[in-house]
Amino acid sequence: MGALLGVNIDHVATVRQARYARNAGSINVEPDPVEAALAAERGGAVGITAHLRQDRRHVVDRDIFRLKEAIGTKLNLEMGNAPEIVAIALKVLPADVCLVPESREEVTTEGGLDCVKYHSALEPTLKAMRDAGIRVSLFIDPESDQIAAAASLGAPVVELHTGAYAEAAGAAREAELARLIEAARQAADTGIQVNAGHGLNYTNVQPILTLPKLVELNIGHSIVSRSLFVGLEQATREMVECLRF
């Protein structure tokens, strides 16, 4: 028992962009996010996650198309609800898309998507993805009204935002874990698949495995950080072991 692991390779692309931001789409640049994805698969990842941001700060369009062709598991495309990115998703046809909030000022995604506020804007995107055979996940905070909105949108999957849990300590962390458990229970009771992610690492992940009906965790930064010392395949393998109980 345990949870499945999806590996986010965004920060491999971040390292590449530090040197090659002007020509990231050419062939003679490194590190290659596709090679990272293949290493993660060898380490036991059941999917590869990549976030194509509007500002292309790390992953670029060519990466997404190459990932779709190269990997043997599934591609989970993280994306904001922007027409340009929606159009790319409908060309790439990943197995999954995960709709997230997006701000140019943030370093990484902060906070969940407000499915209540943006319900009407999300409806056509979910329909377009559904019609194309793409499964949609909504990255949301563990709040009852957000889960209800996700259900009313017909989302088959939610990814519960674990950032507040990851940043808390002591009693505050226990309270955040309790929120996640209740949110997972509510989502599962409505027939929605429960995934989770954000800020999880090798030391804080195991309590998250107590979430009811948890299927998959998406983890990136911690695995890429660990890979500097042991390589990405081994770093992935170690996280897979953490997710077993």
Give the residue among 194, 173, 176 at the shortest CA–CA distance from 185.
194
Say which of 102, 159, 198, 233 is annotated catalytic. 198
Known active-site residue 238 = no
Say which of 78, 102, 176, 233 is annotated catalytic. 78
C-alpha to C-alpha distance for 148 and 14, rounded to whole angstroms: 35
Cβ distance 78 to 95 under 8 Å? no
CA distances 8 to 53, 64, 78, 83, Å, are: 14, 12, 9, 23
Known active-site residue 198 = yes
DSSP 80: -
Say which of 51, 58, 161, 216 is annotated catalytic. 51
Known active-site residue 51 = yes
Task: Quote the tokens at residue 27.
Answer: 């062939």
Give the residue among 121, 132, 137, 59 at the shortest CA–CA distance from 90.
132
Residues belonging to the active site: 51, 78, 198
